[in-house]
């Protein structure tokens, strides 16, 4: 059983996900109770090739983790495995102390922007509404409650003015924020992001960085693949250094040493 | 023109008109899925694969509507799944595997059918025979059309997420594998109904052009489905009325009309048309 949170302020406002969960977005307060994500001894094979081996780490909501490693190190594979899109050949993932058996609305997967057809005929709001699917299923009608959650997600990502836009008419940063808003509408605790900062201009990167901080402060766990080593310390709390095998995991300052980076990127 | 009114009073003409309406709508509706899935080429190859199935069924069970229908379904299943299997068990990708399987099957089917002394029927399967439809053909077409529209409407919500990005869909709990198979079945059924209308060579046109036309106007995926249905039905019915006085082959007229509608949309669409693009420059 989860510990219920009492909201000292705004007692009448419904915070989506509250009551039996700890993510109270928009509340803007830090939470003391954090869910744990424990990954033990994960390995993934593609046919005969080992894509990931011996991945093990333990973390909790409220943190942001950068997945760092050279091309082909298995960053995307790890994200997909955590999202249960790939079932590991060995090892297990424990979320809130329980083994993950299927995809969960508490864990959101955000692919690389390049993997998506931005000409798809849908608006920003339409895309964010997709996040309500786990609650609605095939046929349940879209309720006012769903509308409020979508509204809140759009507001949190500063997209209210853009909600009627076709998604191809967005900048890279706006597209990334739309993805995150979709994850918020899903009421996700864990956000798995594949290269969210890639291809963004400086101001968009800074906006995203700020939103990342807000999200972790709300008690969400962010795990993102990232390739710009220089910006890691500013954005992330922890680093998982990866080259098929897990080379290191821990706070940024401990992991990102010259020696370790040299090892990871050595040919 | 009296002859045309006389022709319209014939049951055969009324059946053809009704068939144009139903088959045009169903194919137009499903074309939204084909366009959003970007699988036009795949559908084209699949439609060719129906021919050997029909040939085989006619050889084994004699020439009836049901044997032709059963054979077509069988062939599409075998070759659709065969290409997946071939791709998984060799170093070839699925497109390459399909390219080989479909053309071989089509050529084989053509040889079989042309050896069977059913010359006229062969032409009908290659290029359609909407004027020659019987009552039972019409019922089959109606059943397929209703089923296709019903399934795609009922599955609209998960379907659109799946079409947008399959990984996002899977992570949200959309049953991606079930959808893949269900939609494959719907497309094959609709292909078979379009086989009757325009034949296996032209059926891709009916399953792509309508929604592609709407795609140039709309940013709403749902509009693509219903708009595609309307364009498909309108185009087919218009072609029916054009083909008789002009003396044109009706199946080809359907495809030409749909092609012309697309061309007009491509030029004049206020948002994505050629003229609009020039004006913006």
Please state the domain extents for chain B: 4-280
pTM exceeding 0.80: yes
A93 SS3 class: strand
Query: Are the beta carbons of A121 and B174 separated by less than 8 Å?
Result: no
Q: Is A94 on the interface with B (CB under 8 A)?
A: no
Task: Name the residue of chain A whose CA is nearest to B161's CA.
Answer: A130
CB-CB contact of B47 with B196 (8 Å): no
Q: How far apart are the first and last CA of chain A?
A: 48
pLDDT digits (tens, 9 = 90+) for A89-144: 999 999 988 888 888 888 999 999 999 999 999 999 999 999 999 988 898 899 99
Helix (H) / strand (E) containing A120: none
Which residues does chain A have within 8 Å of residue B269's beta carbon, measured at their own beta carbons?
none
Instruction: State how far residue B134 is from chain A, nearest Cα, in angstroms.
Output: 37
CATH number assigned to the domain covering B4-280: 1.10.3470.10
Residue of B167, B173, B221 with shortest CB distance to A121: B221
CA-based torsion, A201, A203, A206, A210: positive or negative: negative
Alpha helices by DSSP H, listed for chain A, are 75-82, 124-129, 133-136, 144-156, 172-185, 202-217, 232-235, 252-255, 258-265
CA separation for the pair B274, B187 (Å, rounded): 31
Rounded Cα distance between B23 and B26, Å, is 5
Any idea which residue has 């759009």 for tokens?
A154
Record: contact A85-B171, CB cut-off 8 A: yes
Residue A6 has pLDDT above 70, yes or no: no
A229 in contact with chain B, both atoms CB, cutoff 8 A: no
Structural contact between residues A123 and A167, judged by C-beta atoms closer than 8 angstroms:
yes
Cβ contacts of residue A162 below 8 Å, gap of 6+? A124, A170, A174
SS3 at position A220: coil
Point out the residue among A120, A121, A133 whose CB comes nearest to the CB of B172. Answer: A133
CB distance B46 to B55 below 8 Å: no
Which residue in the set A85, A110, A136 is minimally distant from B170, CB to CB?
A85
Contact A109 B224 (CB under 8 A): no
Please report where in the chains the tokens 């089917």 appear, as a residue.
B109
Closest chain A residue by Cα to residue B36: A120
Q: Does A84 touch chain B (CB under 8 A)?
A: yes
Contacts of A186 in chain B (CB under 8 A): 172
- Residue B192 makes CB contacts below 8 A (sequence gap 6+) with B50, B69, B72, B73, B144
Chain B hits for A83, Cβ within 8 Å: 167, 171
Strands (E) across chain A are located at 36-46, 49-60, 64-68, 90-95, 98-99, 107-110, 190-193, 221-225, 238-243, 245-251
Hey, is the C-beta of B158 within 8 angstroms of any chain A C-beta?
A: yes
Hey, of A127, A130, A137, A223, which one would you mutate to test binding to chain B, going by the most B CBs within 10 A of its CB?
A: A130
DSSP code for B63: S
The pLDDT tens digits along chain B (281 residues) read 567 777 778 888 888 899 899 999 999 999 999 999 988 888 888 888 888 888 888 788 876 767 777 888 888 778 777 877 877 788 888 778 888 888 888 898 888 888 877 766 777 778 877 877 788 888 888 898 999 999 999 999 999 999 999 999 999 999 998 898 888 888 888 888 787 778 888 888 999 999 999 999 988 888 999 999 999 999 999 999 999 888 898 889 999 999 999 999 999 988 888 888 888 87
Query: What SS3 state is found at A139?
Result: coil
Residue A108 Cα distances to A73, A74, A126, A174, B168, angstroms? 22, 19, 17, 18, 8
């Amino acid at each position: 059983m989860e510990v219920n949170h009492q909201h000292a302020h705004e007692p009448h406002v419904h915070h989506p996900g509250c009551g039996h969960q700890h993510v109270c977005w928009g509340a803007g307060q830090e939470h003391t109770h954090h869910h744990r994500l424990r990954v033990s001894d994960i390995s993934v094979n593609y046919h005969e090739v080992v894509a990931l081996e011996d991945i093990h780490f333990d973390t909790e909501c409220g943190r942001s983790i950068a997945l760092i490693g050279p091309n082909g190190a298995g960053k995307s594979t790890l994200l997909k495995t955590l999202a249960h899109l790939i079932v590991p050949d060995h090892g297990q993932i424990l979320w809130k102390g329980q083994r993950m058996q299927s995809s969960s609305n508490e864990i959101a997967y955000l692919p690389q922007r390049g993997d998506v057809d931005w000409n798809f005929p849908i608006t920003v709001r339409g895309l964010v509404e997709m996040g309500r699917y786990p609650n609605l299923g095939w046929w349940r009608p879209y309720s006012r409650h769903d509308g409020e959650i979508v509204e809140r997600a759009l507001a949190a990502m500063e997209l209210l003015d853009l909600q009627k836009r076709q998604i191809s008419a967005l900048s890279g940063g706006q597209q990334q924020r739309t993805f995150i808003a979709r994850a918020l509408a899903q009421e996700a605790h864990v956000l798995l992001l594949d290269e969210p900062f890639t291809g963004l201009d400086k101001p968009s990167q800074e906006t995203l960085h700020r939103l990342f901080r807000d999200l972790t402060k709300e008690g969400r766990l962010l795990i993102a693949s990232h390739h710009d080593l220089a910006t890691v310390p500013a954005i992330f709390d922890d680093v998982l250094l990866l080259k098929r095998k897990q080379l290191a995991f821990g706070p940024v300052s401990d992991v990102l040493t010259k020696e370790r980076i040299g090892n990871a990127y050595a040919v | 023109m009296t002859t045309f009114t006389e022709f319209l009073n014939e049951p055969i003409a009324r059946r053809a008109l009704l068939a144009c309406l139903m088959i045009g709508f169903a194919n137009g509706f499903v074309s939204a899925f084909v366009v959003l899935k970007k699988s036009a080429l795949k559908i084209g190859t699949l439609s060719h694969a129906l021919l050997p199935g029909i040939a085989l069924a006619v050889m084994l069970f004699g020439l009836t509507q049901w044997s032709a229908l059963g054979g077509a379904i069988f062939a599409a299943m075998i070759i659709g799944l065969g290409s997946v299997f071939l791709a998984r068990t060799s170093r070839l990708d699925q497109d390459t595997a399909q390219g080989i399987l479909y053309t071989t099957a089509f050529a084989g089917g053509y040889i079989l059918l042309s050896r069977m002394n059913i010359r006229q029927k062969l032409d009908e399967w290659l290029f359609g025979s909407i004027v020659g439809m019987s009552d039972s053909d019409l019922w089959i077409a109606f059943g397929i059309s209703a089923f296709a529209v019903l399934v795609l409407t009922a599955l609209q919500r998960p379907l659109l997420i799946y079409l947008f990005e399959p990984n996002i869909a899977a992570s949200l709990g959309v049953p991606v594998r079930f959808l893949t198979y269900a939609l494959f079945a719907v497309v094959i059924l609709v292909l078979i109904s379009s086989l009757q209308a325009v034949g296996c060579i032209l059926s891709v046109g009916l399953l792509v052009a309508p929604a592609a036309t709407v795609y140039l106007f709309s940013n709403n995926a749902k509009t693509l489905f219903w708009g595609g249905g309307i364009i498909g039905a309108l185009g087919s019915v218009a072609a029916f009325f054009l083909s008789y006085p002009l003396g044109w082959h009706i199946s080809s007229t359907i495809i030409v009309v749909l092609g012309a509608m697309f061309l007009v949309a491509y030029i004049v669409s206020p948002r994505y048309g050629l003229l609009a693009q020039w004006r913006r420059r």
